[in-house]
Amino acid sequence: MVTVSTMKFSTTKTDIQVSLQKLSKITPTRSTIPILSNVLITTDNGSIIMRATDLEQTMILTIPASIEKEGSSVIPVDTLLNIANELPDGRITLSVDKKLNISIKSETGDYDLKGMSPEEFPAPPELDKQSPVIFSSELLKLIFKLTSFAISNDDLKPALTGVLFHFDQTSLTTVSTDGHRLARYKIQDFDSGGFSGDIIIPKKFLTLSKNLIGQTETVEMQMGKSYITATFGNDTVHSRIIDERYPDYESVIPTNNDKTLTVDVQELTSAVRRVSIFSNRTTQQIAIKMDNDVLEIATEDPEKATRALEKLNGEYSGEPITIGYNAFYLKELLSYMPSEKVVLKLNTPISATVFCPEDKEEGKDTTMLLMPIRLND
């Protein structure tokens, strides 16, 4: 346990500012536990370790510092970040006395505030000793990009508020869905270091980790029974795992969609954006008619007497079909499509549409799903 002590160190304004900006994303704005809106700062052999937590996630950052007195203190994140944001570039000296009085000195002035006892700060989670799974930073960044948009915000369905990581001996499958859309990214020949099983990682973990990816070429992830830990060089994020069973997503991905459309992603996105301006604000409903190699993208809002129609060229195979979509969901899905052209696989106006990139990388599979909106006759 951390003990109360005096402390004095100096570091650059930029280092402490950047770290506090990352830590502020984890500290709750409103909490019945006041200490959670603070950061624990501890000196450690020429550096300071900064830790923040909301009891579900914990972030630990390390920055270089000149240490005059070893020690620790708990300091309000917002106050420290606000003054760091306003100070000019240069060095900041922070000192704490035995009565938890905190003094911040810079080239422009002196600033005083009150800290809290380090002994009151929550301890980091106890972790299982597991061999880490090694991800390249680029792969982890891609997984987050291709799956985060489809995560649900419905707390009544906790399993859907995270991304499923399904590990087996030779592959990794990541999945997210909110019931309206689904994203699946599968990688063959993935070395899981002997780990296998399902883990649901919360959305907030992804958000926090995005700010740290890229600091190193690889990221170590340790999977425990209750927690997952990601190590980014000297920085660490712990997160509680969502302890739920993920729905059978494979059963909702159609395998018999016999109609296909290949179209330029940017052209389709631009047309949907323009047409959707005239759609109903509540439903954001648009209709796409496919016949031969011509697409008609249309919408109408009788309440406001607005309508729009655009035609677009594509490569279509199958019987003519008209299908309705929520324009927001469609635009967002297309924005994450990792290819210049997208292939839509369709069956009926009320069954799910499968979206895949035309250009596929060997050993990797990106599949996205979007449920249609039933059109009014």
Which DSSP letter does residue 35 get? G
Task: Output the CA torsion sign for 204, 207, 209, 212.
Answer: negative
Alpha-carbon distance 183 to 366, whole Å? 8
Q: Which domains does the chain have, with CATH numbers?
A: 7-120 (3.10.150.10), 133-249 (3.10.150.10), 253-370 (3.10.150.10)
For residue range 39-67, list pLDDT tens digits in order.
999 999 899 999 999 999 999 999 999 99
Q: How many CA atoms does the CB half-sphere of 69 hold within 13 Å?
A: 14
Q: pLDDT confidence of 129, banded at 50, 70, 90?
A: confident
- Quick check: 295 and 316 in contact, CB under 8 A? yes
Q: What is the pLDDT of residue 5?
A: 65
Q: What is the pLDDT of residue 35?
A: 94
Alpha-carbon distance 197 to 288, whole Å? 40
- Quick check: 213 and 137 in contact, CB under 8 A? yes
Model confidence at 98: pLDDT above 70: yes
- Quick check: 95 and 8 in contact, CB under 8 A? yes
Q: What is the pLDDT of residue 377?
A: 61
* pLDDT, average across residues 187-197: 90
Q: pLDDT confidence of 273, banded at 50, 70, 90?
A: very high
Percent of the chain with pLDDT over 90: 84
Diameter of the chain measured on Cα atoms: 79
Q: What is the pLDDT of residue 158?
A: 96
Q: Is 232 helix (H, G, I), strand (E, B) or coil?
A: strand
**How much is the pTM?**
0.90
For residue range 196-227, list pLDDT tens digits in order.
999 999 999 998 888 888 888 999 999 888 99
Query: For all residues of the chain together, what is the average pLDDT?
Result: 93
| Helix 203-210 / helix 137-147 crossing angle, nearest 10 deg | 130
Alpha-carbon distance 173 to 187, whole Å? 6
* pLDDT, average across residues 266-286: 96
Model confidence at 2: pLDDT above 50: no
